[in-house]
Structure 1
Amino acid sequence: MLREALKGLTVLDFTQIAAGPTCTMLLADMGAQVIKIEPPEGELGRTLGPAWVGESSALYHGFNRGKLGVCLDLKHPESLAVVMRMVAEADVLIESMRPGVMARLGLGYEAVAEVNPKLIYCSISAYGQHGPYAERAGVDGILQADSGLMSLIGLPNSPPCKVQAPIVDVVTGYMASMSILAKLQARHVTGLGGHLDVSLMNSALALQQSSITSFLRDGQLPKPIGSAAPYAAPNEAFCTSDGWIMVAAYNGNRWERLCTVLGREEWTNDPRFDSSSNRVSNRGVMQASLDSVFLTRPTAYWLEVLREADILCAKVADYSDLLKHPQLAENGMLASVEHPRFGTLRTVGFPVNSAAAAAEPYRPAPDLGEHSRKVLREFAFNEEEIDRLLQSGAIRETEGATPYDK
């Protein structure tokens, strides 16, 4: 099963907020032992709310399930030796600091590769490890803007808009996890690890494969067109008498069936609408014509008749609608995590074979330093060494372990 695919793999996680934690969460979901290493003040993602779960944000809990938590002061003179002992036995190290920061701490790729040449070292940054922007910080919204993605979103003549979900962060996490899995396979052949350079910028560009490819071909700048697709029509949302419905009927057969369902068979012979490209060129007239019909009936009516005609459609749902979606329960994508202090927390589960994955319990996100002592024991630190590191302030711990650690 995928939940056990990476069993035995040890991952050191020096990441924060969303991109890196998405990557390490996926690795934990697939069975890796992920050790989340946080500074004494905790990672920044704990502070980003609302909503809140105790003293930490729901965002932190959503991106950090399945991990063990260690609190380590990387600026403390004894911390480097602690990390290097862990590096010697680890399989993967993932960090999301600005390029150069890990090297200044003595934990750059070259330094750790000397200790463990089999280590796969994944750096996640805004713009990449090299180049004129390498040392610039960047977050999801900045990269949505700088990559051109924000220019596609919204309505004509409206202020700039962004995707509200941190889409660039999340896809970067998926790209990082995919790259690590590929590097693990390569390590079986070569016996060596290596350095992976994963950036939000590159991930944001990958999201725009279709739009950038079209621009490189014809030089036409794409413009924001709301819910519509620039390459096909109709493939957009229409207003009904009580809401909105998304309709995709751009190929010939479905367009003809749509015209029949709407009682407008004459549109099939209208030269403005007789091909998808002509409908794109005359989108304004087409939209107004379709809107005038869709506005006459409620969404539920249109969903029924369009689906009977095998026309692709969906209600434009909000999250309250989503929770009632019949496929959501079937797929098992809403996962429950049992937290010893906060009870049942609900989140989005592992997206592959999700129903089977949801049947197995997820470990809750760790409290700050919750597993510091446990993890150091696993790396052969004795109790005297651990006590001394705690007293010196190199590591921190919190009281209480989850039921998974008894």
Structure 2
Amino acid sequence: MTVDSSPFQPLAGTRVLDLGMNIAGPQATSLLADLGADVVKVESPTGDTSRGMEPRAADGTSAMAYAMNRSKRCVALDLRSPKAAQVLEVLLRWADVAVQNLRPGKAEVLGVDAAACHAVNPRLVHVSVEAFYPVDAGRPGYDLMVQAESGMLHLTGDAAGPPARLPGSLLDHTTGLWAAYGAAAALHGERDRVALTITMADVAQHLLGDRVAAHLLTGESPVRMGSATSVVTPLGAYPTATTEIVLGAASDTLFRRLSSALGVALADDPRFVDNAGRLAHRAALDDAITAALHNADADTWVERLDAAGVPVGQVRDLPDAVELHRRHSRTGLAPVHGVPGASVVANPLTGPAPVRGPGRVGADNRDVLVDTLGLNPDLVAKLEDSGVLA
């Protein structure tokens, strides 16, 4: 959809309680905040572990902390203390949605599992994010472990090399997206003790959907192929006289265009007459394409292939890609208020509206607990003095 420069905030008025840590849970609530939800993050008095990650902005705020906890108000509450129960109950009654991705078993200990939360507020949409399948529900797991056990890591990397981790904690982010999607959808239902559980292992298999379908059809086990694919060729990265480009000719028509643009009669070679033949003679075809591409630099080939109607792109490093995004994206980058010099990639729906940094641990205690929830200031002060609130 097209979004103008004004904020797109369909969730304005929705109240969300973030009980998570690290990436997957906080990513879900950040997406809801981007869409206008009022998100209160509850973290321990020592802060979410993301606050300790590198690198950090000039004020000491870690890039992960403000990327994953943008536009939230943060309350530092020690849920392990019995004295925190009164504050937690008020927060749960206030919220429309609660999201948690705590270590297995921890939610029950802290009283933030679905059953405990619904005992306080049956209209609450409760979302849990877990790493593994129910049979392994007690296992903690990071993105990398799920990539490994889902088959994803086995398929990633060069054919002759070891498995390669997908960058950017892709599964954490995608699982957070599913959690936000589920929460937003549930808000339109009856909201009677809604409890959603999103498992990273399920998300990983869903992302591999076409590969899983092919395996179930043929019984074959796919292998690592670098940037190539087993279903069509040529489609992948190739070196030029300077840097690498990616190109794709997934149909006979595109292959003829590629052949003409390269100045090599590949389309006339009987080995390459159709996709089945090109797959059967992949090595010879790749050698011929690589030899042709060595005759010019990457910029020249991108211009030439694009003019011929062949899908093509440059393999950019991250700084180059971010600059391209900053200059040409419809949404661009969003400055982080309260964190000098910090920016994040803007939500693709909402555009470059400024976002709020997480502030110091417990920075919003009074704003949330006294001004929003109406707790007695003296009670809040006593909880701060006792260390239950930081």
Say whether the fold is shared (TM-score over 0.5). Answer: yes
Structure 2 residue 87 is the aligned partner of structure 1 residue 94:
no
Structure 2 residue 117 is the aligned partner of structure 1 residue 120:
no
CA distance 1:305–1:167, change in 2 (3 Å): same
Q: 2:160 aligns with which of 138, 157, 160?
A: 157
Aligned-residue CA RMSD (Å): 1.6
Structure 2 residue 66 is the aligned partner of structure 1 residue 55:
no
Structure 2 residue 339 is the aligned partner of structure 1 residue 346:
no
Which residue of 2 is the match for residue 387 of structure 1? 381
TM-score relative to the length of structure 2: 0.94
Which residue of 1 is the match for residue 175 of structure 2? 172
Which residue of 1 is the match for residue 289 of structure 2? 290
Tell me the matched-pair count: 384
* Code of the aligned partner of 1:296: N
Q: 1:370 aligns with which of 363, 380, 386?
A: 363
* Code of the aligned partner of 2:294: L
Q: Distance in 2 between matches of 1:331 and 1:230?
A: 34
Pairing 1:166-245 to 2, within 5 Å after superposition: 166-186=169-189, 190-245=190-245
- Which range is displaced more, 168-177 or 200-209? 200-209
Structure 2 residue 16 is the aligned partner of structure 1 residue 11:
yes
Q: Deviations over 1:68-114 (max 9, x none)?
A: 01000011111122101111121011111133321222232112212
SS in 2 for 1:12: strand
Give the structure, 1 or 2, with the largest relative contact order (CA under 8 Å, sep 6 or more). 2
Which residue of 2 is the match for residue 132 of structure 1? 135
* Code of the aligned partner of 2:263: G
Which residue of 2 is the match for residue 268 of structure 1? 267
Q: Deviations over 1:36-81 (max 9, x none)?
A: 1111111111122235553332111111110001000011111122
Which residue of 2 is the match for residue 317 of structure 1? 316
Shift of 1:382: 1.5
Structure 2: which 5+ residue stretches go unaligned?
1-5
Structure 1: which 5+ residue stretches go unaligned?
397-406
CA contact (8 A) 1:80 1:105 kept: no
SS in 1 for 2:47: coil
SS in 2 for 1:335: strand
Q: Distance in 1 between matches of 2:47 and 2:354?
A: 25
* Code of the aligned partner of 1:57: S
Which residue of 2 is the match for residue 251 of structure 1? 251
Shift of 1:308: 0.7
CA distance 1:53–1:102, change in 2 (3 Å): farther
Q: Distance in 2 between matches of 1:333 and 1:50?
A: 22
CA contact (8 A) 2:246 2:313 kept: yes
CA contact (8 A) 2:72 2:357 kept: yes
Which residue of 1 is the match for residue 336 of structure 2? 337
Q: Distance in 2 between matches of 1:215 and 1:53?
A: 50
CA contact (8 A) 2:44 2:76 kept: yes
* Code of the aligned partner of 1:67: K
SS in 2 for 1:121: strand
Q: Distance in 1 between matches of 2:128 and 2:108?
A: 12
Which residue of 2 is the match for residue 27 of structure 1? 32
* Code of the aligned partner of 1:231: V
* Code of the aligned partner of 1:391: D
Q: Distance in 2 between matches of 1:90 and 1:53?
A: 34
* Code of the aligned partner of 2:225: I
Which residue of 1 is the match for residue 3 of structure 2? none
* Code of the aligned partner of 2:9: E
SS in 2 for 1:279: helix
Shift of 1:328: 4.7
TM-score relative to the length of structure 1: 0.91
Shift of 1:312: 0.5
SS in 2 for 1:78: helix
